[in-house]
Chain A
């Protein structure tokens, strides 16, 4: 089974600054999908950004961008111009493209945004 590792249990960033959350994964597959989900306290998980492994271009969604390094099996999330509303748990997730539809999640990184 593929494993997803988030090595930063907690991160802190000042409002308007930039922060990068790390994620590495282990797989022998060549085609797959990677996701970052955000889970605010006591609220549902929402998708932040996704990346298809066959695409070389890094995905971008407004203030959120990823650095996808396929050879290194690394998928970090960069949040620019951090806002108080960005405070949440962030989960990195992996999904195989041809062996099931389950998402494999990391343990998450808790992001604190300070004024």
Chain B
């Protein structure tokens, strides 16, 4: 068990470009979450998957953002037409829905996005 893995760790892009981040959850974790963290703030919830179904989306997830989790394994978060305000750390977390670890979200190290 290697924990939640996120790639890339850093991404620098120019305004208007599209970017895609990947998250590999802990194996057998059926729930997967995306958060955004800006400097000096706590993480803010973006979206949540149970298996392959996207069950909850925050109002922060504008129409330029899309997330997928094909086959209920890894997930991707794409941002189209990036803006400078998208610069942030994007965190992924996963959890089980049963057992003693139920309700505990395990976080990855994040992908830091800088939009120039």
Q: Count the A-B residue pairs with Cβ separation under 8 angstroms: how many?
A: 51
The answer to whether A44 and B103 have CB atoms under 8 Å apart is: no
> Among the listed B40, B103, B107, which residue makes an inter-chain contact with A107, where contact means beta carbons less than 8 Å apart?
B40
Q: Is the CB of A50 within 8 A of B109?
A: no
Interchain nearest-CB distance for A42 vs B (Å): 8
Residue pair A103, B43 in contact (C-beta under 8 Å): yes
B56 in the interface, Cβ–Cβ < 8 Å? Answer: yes
A-B contact pairs, 14 of them (CB 8 A): A43-B109, A44-B4, A44-B108, A44-B110, A45-B43, A45-B107, A47-B104, A50-B103, A101-B56, A101-B95, A102-B56, A106-B42, A108-B40, A108-B41
Residues of B within 8 A of A95 (CB): 103
Q: What count of chain B residues pass the 8 Å CB interface test?
A: 24
Residues of B within 8 A of A20 (CB): none
Binding site for B on A (CB under 8 A): 4, 33, 37, 43-47, 50, 91, 93, 95, 100-108
Known: A45-B91, A91-B42, A108-B42. A103 touches B105 (CB 8 A): yes
Q: How far is the CA of A58 from the CA of B53 in the complex (A)?
A: 35
By Cβ-Cβ distance, the 9 closest A-B pairs, closest first, are A105-B42, A102-B45, A45-B107, A44-B109, A91-B42, A44-B107, A105-B43, A107-B42, A106-B42
**B44 near A: Cβ within 8 Å?**
yes
Which B residues lie within 8 Å of A46 (CB)?
107
B33 within 8 A of A: yes
Distance A4 CA – B105 CA, assembled complex (angstroms): 18
